[in-house]
Amino acid sequence: MAYKLPELPYAYDALEPHIDARTMEIHHTKHHAGYTNNLNAAIEGTELEKMSLREIFAHVSKHPVAVRNNGGGYWNHKLFWEIMSPDGGGQPSERMNIYKALMRDFGSYEEFKKQFSAAAATRFGSGWAWLCVDKGDKLFITSTPNQDNPLMDVADRKGTPILGLDVWEHAYYLNYQNRRPDYIEAFYNVINWQKVTENYNDANEGASKF
């Protein structure tokens, strides 16, 4: 079954002024659509058509590089759209499990933000910054190059991503030009913590959460 470009859960201009409408539209209709089409072309007629992306990522180093790049591009952007919202931003509610986990593993929201921003700012060239859950249900921050992600066997540190920030220039250049740190700071105004806490709760099925 072919992958379909997911619809955005909000309008292209919904995240303004933090992320501009033109960037969102090109990012979705050109970049994400391209990864989706190229993923379908890369797996068509192969055994990979019957496997989930998570299964493919777990052994991605054995598959053609087009599967790694476009499978990652499809999956990463799908997560990215979902963890942003015009109603988002600020700290997560104290009632959310993700708030409790952030406090447990980083000590404060500010410390989480500092580490996440550093990961996003220091990723050289194109890639992603991630907040992940490891097998022991502990949160950690990492970054990956290109369209890799921490579900892939090639990742330096493996885990389940629950929040991701695209730091490719195509994600910010129209509005921020070379000012990646300004784009990173703006991102905190649109994080959909409701979705991130759902992702956290869904990770490590069976793990006890508070």
Nearer Cβ to Mn ion (46/177): 177
- The answer to the question of residue 166 lying near Mn ion (CB under 5 A) is yes
State which amino acid sits at residue 164: G
Minimal CB distance to Mn ion: which residue?
A: 166
Nearer Cβ to Mn ion (62/170): 170
* Rounded Cα distance, 206 and 135, in Å: 11
Nearer Cβ to Mn ion (57/168): 168
- Two tokens, residue 56: 């493919």
- The stretch near Mn ion (CB under 5 A) out of 1-9, 123-131, 138-146, 161-169 is 161-169
- The answer to the question of residue 82 lying near Mn ion (CB under 5 A) is no
* Rounded Cα distance, 181 and 80, in Å: 18
**Given strand 160-166, what is the order of strands in its sheet?**
139-145, 127-133, 160-166
- The stretch near Mn ion (CB under 5 A) out of 53-61, 124-132, 168-176, 192-200 is 168-176
118 sits in which H/E element: helix 109-122
- Two tokens, residue 144: 């990956």
Instruction: Supply the minimum distance, in Å, between the C-beta of residue 128 and Mn ion.
Output: 9
Instruction: Supply the minimum distance, in Å, between the C-beta of residue 32 and Mn ion.
Output: 7
Binding site for Mn ion (CB under 5 A): 166, 168, 171
